[in-house]
Amino acid sequence: MRLLVIGASETNRRRPPSFGEEVNLSWAQELEANTAVLGQWPTFLMHYLDAEAEGIPFPEAADLTEHGRGLYLYDRGAIYRSRHSTLWNVAMPGAITRSCAFYLKAHMERFQAFAPDAIVICVGSVDCLEHRMIRTTADMSEPGPISAMAEGQTITFEPCQSADEFESALTSISEMLPLIRADARIVHLDIIRSRNRSRSLNAKLKSFSQVIHGVSAQFGHRLVTHPYLDEATEAGIDQWLRTDDGHPTEAMNSQLAMQILHHLLDMTPAAGSNTDFPVETIDIADWSGRSKQCN
């Protein structure tokens, strides 16, 4: 099963290169220190796919604590291969919808060469927080050079401010996805609500969620919703969102991965004869402990 993942830090917390090597090394070490299972829900999903294919029990969070430890998951310039899944995670912290659309278009030929069986997309939540995203050519070129940016250029992406803007941007992305692979299964993650919402932000999150529901229905995409989070009390929300930075907890990452898995179970992945991938492939089957350094 080949998976392409695009979205923001709920999906991949590896920062872009423009933050600087020193800052990123420090951040990788911080993630190591404060995160038991590295790699957010894609780590769980890769192991669930392996377990499903082999008919063995799904691993618990405790079983995954050594996965990728000592590394800085997930490098956008690499494809990660386990026994039964091949995952390319090009999500980036702070990514807003328009930057994801740009990224898809800029690397379209590479994504086509990867030919994913499924594409998981998680956009909109960061737009609601009104983060502008400034990215350099180096940030957007991790999988390889792009023609859309000149050497040393910087682009500022503006968040979608309204549901109408978001619908337009998400529709644009949805129209591009079949170009990657016509029969790829598309799975959207619904908006992940934030802590500490004003009335206005709460309404905005709901309106963006409605856009995801509408666009995914229009295009025949799958949708992963989060009723357990949406219905959680303020006290209960700690089970699903981390208290330090509001990102999904291991319990939520596990939940997300299981929900995505159920959208993939009826698929018959392509034979995978093409393994001439456009970026390096990292085999994770024999990872053991801290054998590699953060870099």
Task: List residues near another protein by CB under 8 A.
Answer: 8-9, 13, 15, 18-20, 23, 27, 93-94, 126, 129-131, 194-202, 245
Identify whether the C-beta of residue 22 lies closer than 8 Å to the C-beta of residue 107.
no
What is the rounded distance in angstroms from the CA atom of residue 210 to the CA atom of residue 2? 28
What is the rounded distance in angstroms from the CA atom of residue 238 to the CA atom of residue 202? 18
**CB 15, min distance to another protein, A:** 6
User: In terms of CB distance, is 197 or 262 closer to another protein?
Assistant: 197
User: In terms of CB distance, is 50 or 139 closer to another protein?
Assistant: 139
Q: What is the number of other CB atoms lying within 10 angstroms of the CB of residue 63?
A: 13
Helix H or strand E encompassing 199: helix 199-219
**CB 127, min distance to another protein, A:** 12
Rounded to 10°, the helix 97-106/163-180 angle is 20
User: In terms of CB distance, is 134 or 258 closer to another protein?
Assistant: 134
Instruction: Quote the tokens at residue 202.
Output: 């709460």
**CB 89, min distance to another protein, A:** 15
What is the rounded distance in angstroms from the CA atom of residue 229 to the CA atom of residue 238? 10
The residue type at 199:
R
**CB 133, min distance to another protein, A:** 10
Q: What long-range pairs does 235-243 form, CB within 8 A, spacing at least 24?
A: 237/195, 241/192, 241/195
**CB 78, min distance to another protein, A:** 20
**CB 141, min distance to another protein, A:** 18
User: In terms of CB distance, is 199 or 265 closer to another protein?
Assistant: 199
What is the rounded distance in angstroms from the CA atom of residue 33 to the CA atom of residue 200? 35
**CB 9, min distance to another protein, A:** 5
How far is C-alpha 221 from the chain's CA centre? 16
User: In terms of CB distance, is 199 or 288 closer to another protein?
Assistant: 199
Question: Residues 58, 46, 215, CA angle at the centre, nearest 5°?
Answer: 110
User: In terms of CB distance, is 199 or 289 closer to another protein?
Assistant: 199
User: In terms of CB distance, is 75 or 117 closer to another protein?
Assistant: 75
Torsion of CA 174, 178, 181, 184, to 10 degrees: 60
